[in-house]
C-alpha cells in the first residue's frame, strides 16, 4: 500500500482536538458497598426532626453548577462527562450527546443537548439540597454549602422523570425504582451526610438501615 503523500511545505498542521477535562473523582461507584462501614457511619449521624424550610433557596448553595474544582468546566458538564458513555464534546467541556446507563431505572437513556431534549437526563443531588437545608446545612457557611452542592460524591446523572418524582425526598419517602441500586443509593446518602455534618430523621434512619440489610453480600 503506498505511503500517504506528505503535506505541502508551509501548510498549517491540523489543530489537535481539544482534550476533554478530567472527570471528577468521588462518584457513587457501582462496586460492592461495605455495609458494616456504612452502618458505622449511620450510627454517628444525629437523629432529629426535620427543621423548617424557612429561608431555603437554591442560591443558599452558591451559583448553580459552579466550577469549584477549577478544571475549567462547570459541575454539570463534569458529571455528564463522568456518567455518560460515548460522549460528544463541544470544546473541552460541553457535553453535546452521550448515552446514560441510568442507575435509578436500570434503563438506557440517550442524551442530546437541546431545549426540548436536555431534561431527559438530569443531575440529581443524592442528598437533595432542600433536605440538607432542613437537616443541618443552615448551619454551614456559604462556602461549605457550595461544596456540598457541587461535590461529585453527591451528584449523579439520572433519568429526568425519576429525579422530578424524587423532589426533595429522603430515603424514608423516595427510593430509586431500580432495586439493585438502592443499597448504593442509601450508602451514598449516609456518606454525604456524615461528610457535611447533617442529620437524619428517625424514619429516614430506619429506611436506610432496612435497605442496608438488603444489600447483596460482597
pLDDT of residue 49: 96
Which of the pair, 17 or 52, is modelled with greater confidence? Answer: 52
Lowest mean per-residue pLDDT among 23-27, 68-72, 99-103, 121-125:
23-27
pLDDT of residue 31: 67
Query: Phi then psi for 131, rounded to 5 degrees?
Result: -60, -45
When pLDDT is averaged across residues 35-52 and rounded to a whole number, the result is 97
pLDDT of residue 4: 47
Global pTM reads 0.86
When pLDDT is averaged across residues 2-7 and rounded to a whole number, the result is 47
In a domain, 16, yes or no: no
In a domain, 105, yes or no: yes
In a domain, 22, yes or no: no
In a domain, 26, yes or no: no
pLDDT of residue 8: 46
Long-range contacts of 56-65 (CB under 8 A, 24+ apart): 56/129, 56/130, 56/133, 56/134, 58/129, 60/129, 60/133, 60/137, 60/142, 60/145, 61/129, 61/137, 61/145, 61/146, 61/148, 61/149, 62/142, 62/145, 62/146, 62/149, 62/150, 63/146, 65/123, 65/150
Report residue 17 as a C-alpha cell.
482536538
Report residue 94 as a C-alpha cell.
460541553
Average pLDDT, the chain: 90
In a domain, 208, yes or no: yes
pLDDT of residue 10: 46
End-to-end CA distance of the chain: 54
Q: How do residues 141-198 score in pLDDT, each as one tens digit?
A: 999 999 999 999 999 999 999 999 999 999 999 999 999 999 999 999 999 999 999 9
pLDDT of residue 21: 47
Domain count, the chain: 1
Query: Phi then psi for 190, rounded to 5 degrees?
Result: -65, -45
Please compute, for residue 56, the number of CA atoms within 13 A of its CA located in the half-sphere on the CB side: 16
In a domain, 52, yes or no: yes
In a domain, 6, yes or no: no
Question: Domain range holding 196?
Answer: 35-213
pLDDT of residue 68: 86
Please compute, for residue 140, the number of CA atoms within 13 A of its CA located in the half-sphere on the CB side: 25
The neighbouring-strand residues paired with 155 are: 125
Q: How do residues 162-178 score in pLDDT, each as one tens digit?
A: 999 999 999 999 999 99
3-state secondary structure of 181: helix
In a domain, 64, yes or no: yes
Checking if the pLDDT of 18 tops 50, the result is: no
Confidence class for position 14, pLDDT limits 50, 70, 90: very low
Looking at the chain, the whole-number percentage of residues with pLDDT higher than 90 is 80
pLDDT of residue 217: 80
When pLDDT is averaged across residues 37-51 and rounded to a whole number, the result is 98
Amino acid at each position: 500500500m503506498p505511503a500517504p503523500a506528505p503535506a505541502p511545505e508551509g501548510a498549517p498542521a491540523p489543530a489537535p482536538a481539544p482534550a476533554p477535562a478530567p472527570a471528577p473523582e468521588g462518584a457513587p461507584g457501582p462496586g460492592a458497598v461495605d455495609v458494616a462501614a456504612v452502618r458505622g457511619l449511620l450510627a454517628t449521624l444525629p437523629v432529629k426532626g426535620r427543621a423548617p424550610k424557612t429561608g431555603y433557596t437554591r442560591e443558599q448553595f452558591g451559583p448553580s453548577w459552579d466550577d469549584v474544582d477549577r478544571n475549567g468546566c462547570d459541575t454539570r458538564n463534569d458529571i455528564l462527562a463522568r456518567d455518560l458513555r460515548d460522549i460528544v464534546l463541544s470544546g473541552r467541556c460541553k457535553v453535546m450527546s452521550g448515552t446514560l446507563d441510568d442507575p435509578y431505572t436500570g434503563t438506557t437513556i440517550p442524551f442530546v443537548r437541546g431545549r426540548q431534549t436536555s431534561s431527559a437526563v438530569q443531575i440529581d443531588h443524592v442528598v437533595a439540597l432542600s433536605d440538607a437545608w432542613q437537616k443541618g446545612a443552615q448551619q454551614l457557611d456559604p462556602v461549605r454549602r457550595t461544596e456540598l452542592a457541587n461535590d461529585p460524591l453527591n451528584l449523579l446523572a439520572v433519568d429526568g422523570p425519576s429525579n422530578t418524582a424524587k423532589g426533595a425526598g429522603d430515603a424514608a419517602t423516595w427510593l430509586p425504582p431500580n432495586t439493585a441500586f438502592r443499597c448504593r443509593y442509601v450508602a451514598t446518602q449516609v456518606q454525604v451526610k456524615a461528610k457535611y455534618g447533617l442529620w437524619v430523621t428517625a424514619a429516614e434512619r430506619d429506611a436506610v438501615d432496612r435497605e442496608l440489610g438488603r444489600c447483596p453480600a460482597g
